[in-house]
Structure 1
Amino acid sequence: MDALLITCVFLFLLLFAICLKEWYRYSIEKQKLLAHVHEMSGHKNYGVRKQETSSERLVKRLLRYGDDYAVMGQRINFFSESHEVEDWLLKSGRPLDLTVAQFQGVKIFMALLGIIAGTLFFILRFPLSHLGLIAWPLIGYFLPILLLKKKARDRQHQLRYDLPEFLDTVSVTLQAGVSLDQALREVIKFFDGPIREEFSRFNQELDLGVQREKAYEQLLRRNDNPEFQMLIKALIQGMRLGVPIAVTFKSQAENMRRIRKELIKEKAAKASPKVTLITTFVVTPTAIILIGGLMVLNILENFSLFSDIMP
């Protein structure tokens, strides 16, 4: 019986390892195929139709409930004034085409779910359930606010990360004699994330007849990243003064690289005190307690042996 069990376990592990290996090969081949299609087409939006996931369906249903509570949400706007929500939505790229009214409604709906959950836990006599009557509604109310602010912050960080490489690529393209609009249209095909979204919208606004300076101002309004704002303001100033665009992009790329190096040095300098703090308040007390405990146990054991020897 034991031999049969060991054989089954061994076969299971062998088959599991083979499955992992084949799945890894499939992932590698898929990435190669996607890279080849991207190289041949020049962009990544080649019309692959994706099936809607259960989480996406849940979010869409939640947004429909948010429409029902939109009016109440706009009245109950603690820590989420409508102009603040609009600013967060702009800086986060307006995920799921979310509107201010929908967000305010989702916030109220989540708070109501928190009230129901807190009441249910209180009826079932869960530990600290009386605190949950207050905590769960507050969590439901503030969770959408915190998630949206985090989304906006992460998007601005990603914009900062992609900006130097984008500037270098555009600068080289401009030096080849290509116009700015054409350079932006060609370069953004090879980028993903906020860089592509922002400059795609910028080009669309220009195609619709929006003045270039007005389109630059909209870029500034949608993004509060200091490096990105520095670039757009330099482009506005260069347009007014007649400075060549290629020179502006080249100088901004050098400034971005210098700023990134300074940020890395700053983070490295901040890491040392944190490590020292952890060592002082976590590692050292633990080591002292461990050594002291062993010493106490050793003393007690020796004392008991000494007591047994003595008459």
Structure 2
Amino acid sequence: MDSLILISIIVFWLSFAFGMGNLYSYAKQKEVLKLHMTEIAVTSSLTNIKKKSLSDRIIAFLSRYADDFSSLGERINFFSESDEVEVLLRKAGNPFNLSVSRFQGFKIVCVLLGFMTGAFMVIIGFPLANIAFVTLPFLGFFVPIMLIRSTAKKRQEQLRSDLPDFLDTVSISLQAGSNLDSSIKESIHYFTGPIQEEFSKFIQGIELGVPREKAYLELLTRNDNEEFQSFIKSLIQATRLGVPMAATFKSQSEDIRKISLEQVKEKAAKASPKVTLITSFIIAPLIMLLIIGLVVLNMIYGEDSIVRFFTS
């Protein structure tokens, strides 16, 4: 009986020591993870620091009041349904940290700003103030929609333009023996714009424990550029099949450059008929009017003009 009690005491203290050891190990790992997440957050914030222009500061200032009108903006959603706005904001890189509801409210803020500007122009007697009083609120509603569409389109175009150079840079790093994450993390420092933003988010997600395939799918969700989507899908396929990443990056870079060259040739071919159309319907009639005008002036004021014929 005494031996059983002794064994129980020994087992208890061993279990207690083992549990305390695991608890200490867990606390240390938690501290390391917190430090790692802090480093990632600081690095990300330093990377995203940009000098704001005057227009950026004005938009950021107006955005503060957008939340108060978000519900009204969601009800008045002509050409700006919430689902469509969400897609556009993702493609545009969420400028000014705009959410869907805040963007909807921002439209109403711009409408009110246009209304007040028009009213002020009417009060001071500005020329065409009545027209401005009617048109400025409409412009305040539709200009943010057009701007977000334009920003999304330009961002996707820039992403497509920078992608081949980025792939070449990463490919060189991979061929030198670096792994994929280190190569991307090193390469993004040589780029600016959407290519840096997208892959910074990708690396940040990987470091925080997001599954690689899910991080790839998030890249696909945020961007609809055909070349970029083709590249990310090839990365997913290469990850599943175990294909060397260096070969994937190199082949994708060559394919994208070929596609870009074909698109340039296609645009050049489309430009020629447009130039001919402009020449035929605008420049040629103007030249004809100029010639006819000179002939008429010569007939009226020349040496053998009709005026002199009748007055002589």
Q: Give me the TM-score of the superposition, normalised by structure 2.
A: 0.78
Which residue of structure 1 lines up, in the alignment, with residue 181 of structure 2? 181
C-alpha distance after superposition, 1:41-73 (max 9, x if no partner): xx9x98999876544432222011112212222
Which residue of structure 2 lines up, in the alignment, with residue 297 of structure 1? 297
187-196 or 292-301, which deviates more: 292-301
Which residue of structure 1 lines up, in the alignment, with residue 263 of structure 2? 263
Please show how residues 131-150 of structure 1 align to structure 2 within 5 Å.
132-150=132-150
Structure 2 distance, partners of 1:246, 1:61, is: 46
Structure 2 distance, partners of 1:261, 1:249, is: 18
Letter in 2 for 1:272: S
C-alpha distance after superposition, 1:154-204 (max 9, x if no partner): 100000100111111111221222111111011111111111110110000
Which residue of structure 2 lines up, in the alignment, with residue 18 of structure 1? none
Structure 2 distance, partners of 1:48, 1:248, is: 29
Structure 2 distance, partners of 1:310, 1:96, is: 75
C-alpha distance after superposition, 1:218-264 (max 9, x if no partner): 00000000000000000111111221111111111110111011011
C-alpha distance after superposition, 1:99-150 (max 9, x if no partner): 2222111101111222334445556676665554543222111111111111
300-309 or 77-86, which deviates more: 300-309
123-132 or 102-111, which deviates more: 123-132
Which residue of structure 2 lines up, in the alignment, with residue 273 of structure 1? 273
Which residue of structure 2 lines up, in the alignment, with residue 208 of structure 1? 208
Give unmatched runs, 5+ long, in structure 1.
Answer: 1-42
Structure 1 distance, partners of 2:49, 2:169, is: 30
Q: CA RMSD in A?
A: 2.7
**CA contact 2:299–2:306 (8 Å) conserved in 1:** no
Q: Return closer, same or farther for 1:309/1:134 CA change in 2, 3 Å cut-off.
A: closer
Letter in 2 for 1:207: E
Give unmatched runs, 5+ long, in structure 2.
Answer: 1-42
Which residue of structure 1 lines up, in the alignment, with residue 229 of structure 2? 229
Please show how residues 1-311 of structure 1 align to structure 2 within 5 Å.
54-121=54-121, 132-300=132-300, 301-304=302-305, 307=308
> Size of the alignment, in residue pairs?
268
SS in 2 for 1:79: coil
Letter in 2 for 1:68: D
Q: Return closer, same or farther for 1:270/1:48 CA change in 2, 3 Å cut-off.
A: closer
Q: Return closer, same or farther for 1:298/1:192 CA change in 2, 3 Å cut-off.
A: same
Structure 1 distance, partners of 2:172, 2:212, is: 22
Q: Return closer, same or farther for 1:119/1:242 CA change in 2, 3 Å cut-off.
A: same
SS in 1 for 2:65: helix
Q: Give me the TM-score of the superposition, normalised by structure 1.
A: 0.78
Letter in 2 for 1:85: V
Structure 2 distance, partners of 1:142, 1:309, is: 61
SS in 2 for 1:69: helix
Letter in 1 for 2:166: F
Letter in 1 for 2:184: L
Which residue of structure 2 lines up, in the alignment, with residue 27 of structure 1? none
Structure 2 distance, partners of 1:298, 1:78, is: 57
Q: Return closer, same or farther for 1:248/1:282 CA change in 2, 3 Å cut-off.
A: same
